[in-house]
Amino acid sequence: MTEGNPVSLIIKFSIPMLIGNLFQQLYNLVDSIIVGQFVGPQALAAIGVTGSVTFLFFALCNGFGNGGGIITSQAFGKGDDDEVRTSISNTGYIMFVFPLVVGIIAYFLIDPVLIILDTPAEIMADSRSYLSIMCVGLIFVSLYNYVSAMLRALGDSKTPLYFLIFSCILNTILDWIFVCIFHMGVFGAGVATVISQLISGVSCLIYAISKNEYFHMKKEDLKFNSFISKKIIRLGFPLSLQFSLIAISCMALQRVVNSYGSVAVAAFTATSRIEQIIHLPYQTLGAALATYTGQNYGAGKSDRIIVGYKKSLMLMAIFSLLMLPIMQFLGAAIISIFVKSADVIAMGATALQITSLFYIMLGVIYVVRGVLNGLGDAFFALLNGIVEVIGRFIVPVMLTGFATIGLWGIWWSVGIVWSISGLTAWLRYLGYKKQALQY
């Protein structure tokens, strides 16, 4: 990605990742749709309550995969094949041990966490059931994310997509079997997700080892390298901490939502699933920009980084403006995909009208984050996480406390926190580019 038109390169690299991310999100969507339609709104609410918690568990692990991807992309940009292979192997060691430890600890913290979240009593059992299987499957989810992060760092965004599409189809079939035929409810949806992620991760790893030259390891490539591991951890830890802080802030928001009962929880779950889809183009653009920035930074091409950043902002703004009328006028139809309850549909439609006003600020976060991650700015990850935590702890409580706003303060707070985080990210970029890019 160090030669050629930046916009064309970023778009071509982004499209397979976007398709892959869409299919990956279908795991959550299929779980939510099948459970919501065939089990009921309370079961949907149970999955929703666990969303921020599972995000926390995954975030603790996947930040190291992203950190390893940055180191790998920079080594690839420099043309240092030995460092690329060493980075791949050492990221693998970290991504095996850490998810295993986190999964075990998380399993024994399920009940205390659900109590802290003030989970409604009527959905406590289902929430506990879903979380337990997700803790067991954490290492399988991390496996796919590890392999895909390494392949993307090497400029291959297509290979993980093929296995992910197959796995997503498998997940849909297993969801139908476990939930609709075997009547295993929320637990069955979790089992289907874990099995599908396992197959996706193992298949992708086998293919990478057999087809990608950088996964053809010699004995010395497989040795633990303390220098490379420290670099991975130095970048990965702040990323993990950033995502974890964001997850904790989402848990704080979830507690506010839970206080309004299961209808509000179901509506919030549905809108959150939709927003996860909206996040994907921004997230994919940011990931592509991180790889693009990492490779060009390694090659010493600062001018290309600046051009890529500006063009990515333009692409982000176009997408944000296209999504706005869709959410303003078709929100009810979209929410009805998840549930049949008229109360949940009406609440969710209004919520989408509120949050869609702030999509462009959400996009700013991802674009700037992509550039700063590619440059190796570890401090920004921590800063961004802290800002989100403060925002999500304070803003929802403040807004819902006003009688004229009430419940709707939940969704207004989401948009306001995006705006605060986006502004913080932009200010950090302005200062950091002078230091890293000499601009």
C-alpha dist (Å) from residue 301 to 8, 78, 83, 288, 298: 17, 11, 20, 17, 8
- Whether the per-residue pLDDT at 169 is higher than 80: the answer is yes
- Whether the per-residue pLDDT at 242 is higher than 90: the answer is no
d(CA 370, CA 305): 11
Q: What percent of the chain has pLDDT over 70?
A: 97
d(CA 86, CA 109): 35
Q: How confident is the model at residue 78 (pLDDT cuts 50, 70, 90)?
A: confident
Tell me the per-residue pLDDT of 325-359, one tens digit each, with 9 for 90 and over.
999 999 999 999 888 889 999 999 999 999 999 99
The pLDDT value recorded for residue 364 is 94
- Whether the per-residue pLDDT at 434 is higher than 70: the answer is no
Mean pLDDT on 183-188: 88
- Whether the per-residue pLDDT at 267 is higher than 70: the answer is yes
The pLDDT value recorded for residue 354 is 96
The pLDDT value recorded for residue 17 is 74
- Whether the per-residue pLDDT at 409 is higher than 90: the answer is yes
Between helix 185-211 and helix 124-136 the angle, nearest 10°, is: 20
The full DSSP string for 387-414 is HHHHHHHHHHHHHHTSTTTGGGHHHHHH
Tell me the per-residue pLDDT of 89-106, one tens digit each, with 9 for 90 and over.
999 999 999 889 988 998
The pLDDT value recorded for residue 163 is 79
- Matching residue, tokens 């601009």: 439
The pLDDT value recorded for residue 361 is 95
- Whether the per-residue pLDDT at 439 is higher than 60: the answer is no
Q: How confident is the model at residue 64 (pLDDT cuts 50, 70, 90)?
A: confident
Tell me the per-residue pLDDT of 33-62, one tens digit each, with 9 for 90 and over.
888 778 877 887 788 778 778 877 777 777
Domain ranges of the chain: 6-436
Tell me the per-residue pLDDT of 120-135, one tens digit each, with 9 for 90 and over.
888 899 899 989 998 8
